[in-house]
Copies of this chain bind each other. A is one copy, B any other.
C-alpha cells in the first residue's frame, strides 16, 4: 500500500465531488431506499438484543447470510459497524463473536451514561420552551399510567421516550447520538431488570421536569445524576439470577 502520491482525485474529483462539496448540507435530501446492509445491521442488533444470538457466540457469515436471505457481503459490512458500536468483536481471521459484556464493562457504561445524561439534562434545562415542558409532562403521565396497570413494556417505552426527548431538548446532536448508542447497549446488558424500579423512577422524572421547567440547570443536572446513579445501584443490587 503506497502512500506518498498526492491522491489523484484531489480537490475536484470527478463531477460529483466538486458539486456535492460545494452544495454541502444544502444538497437535496431525497429519501433513498435504504441499502440491504442497513436492514441486516438492524436485524442483527435485534437478534443480539433478544438473545437469539448469545454473548460469545461465533457468528458465521454464511449462516447469517442464509438466515437473512442475503449474501455475505452486506453481512460483513453490517458486522463492521456492529463492531465499532460494541455489539460484536471481530477477531482477525476468526470472524465475529457476539460481544461478551462483563460486570465491569456494564458498570463503566452506566457510569458514562450517567455523565452524558446529566449533561443533557443541564442543557435541556437551559433551552426548554413551554411547549417542550408540556410534552415532557405528557410523557410522564403516560409512564405513570403504565406503571399503575403494571404494563412493563409500556413503562420501558415511556422511559425511553422521556429520556430521548430530554436528550433532544439538549440540542446537542453529537451528545444525543452518543447517549443513544450507550443506552441501547446498557439496556441490552441488563434487560432483565428493566422496569423493575418502576414507581420511584417516575417520581424522580417528575422532579426532573420541574427543574427543567424552572430552568434550574444545576438542579436538573443533580437530579439526573441521582436518577442514573440509582439505576446503577439497582443493577448492582439485583438478584444473582438476573445477572448477565
Interface residues of A (CB under 8 A from B): 1-3, 5-11, 13-14, 16-17, 20-22, 24-25, 32-40, 43, 47, 52-58, 60, 63, 67-70, 76-78, 80-81, 83-85, 91-95, 97, 100, 102, 105, 108-109, 111-112, 115-116, 119, 172-175, 178
Q: What are 13 A-B residue pairs whose CB atoms fall within 8 Å in the complex?
A: A7-B63, A8-B67, A10-B52, A13-B60, A13-B63, A21-B58, A25-B100, A32-B93, A32-B94, A33-B92, A33-B93, A80-B80, A115-B115
A82 to chain B, nearest CB (A): 9
In the assembled complex, the Cα of A153 lies from the Cα of B100 at a distance in Å of: 39
Contact (Cβ within 8 A) A172 B108: yes
B112 contacts A21, C-beta separation under 8 Å:
no
CA distance A8 to B55 in the complex (A): 16
Task: Quote the shortest CB–CB distance from A155 to chain B (angstroms).
Answer: 26
* A22-B56, A84-B84, A108-B174 given; 13 more Cβ-contact pairs under 8 Å: A1-B68, A1-B69, A5-B67, A7-B67, A17-B58, A20-B58, A21-B97, A38-B92, A81-B84, A105-B173, A109-B174, A111-B119, A178-B178
Q: Cα distance A95–B148 when bound, in Å? A: 49
| Chain B positions within 8 Å of A92 at CB level | 32-35, 38
- A60 B112 Cβ-Cβ under 8 A: no
A63 touching B8 in the complex, CB below 8 Å, given contacts A68-B1, A100-B24:
yes
Judging by beta carbons under 8 Å apart, are B97 and A20 in contact?
A: yes
Complex: A17 Cα to B22 Cα, angstroms: 49
Nearest-CB distance from A188 to chain B (Å)? Answer: 14
Asked whether B54 lies within 8 Å of A11 as measured between CB atoms, the reply is: yes
Residues of B within 8 A of A81 (CB): 80-81, 83-84
* Among candidates B1, B8, B37, residue contacting A39 with C-beta atoms closer than 8 Å: B1
CA distance A78 to B91 in the complex (A): 15
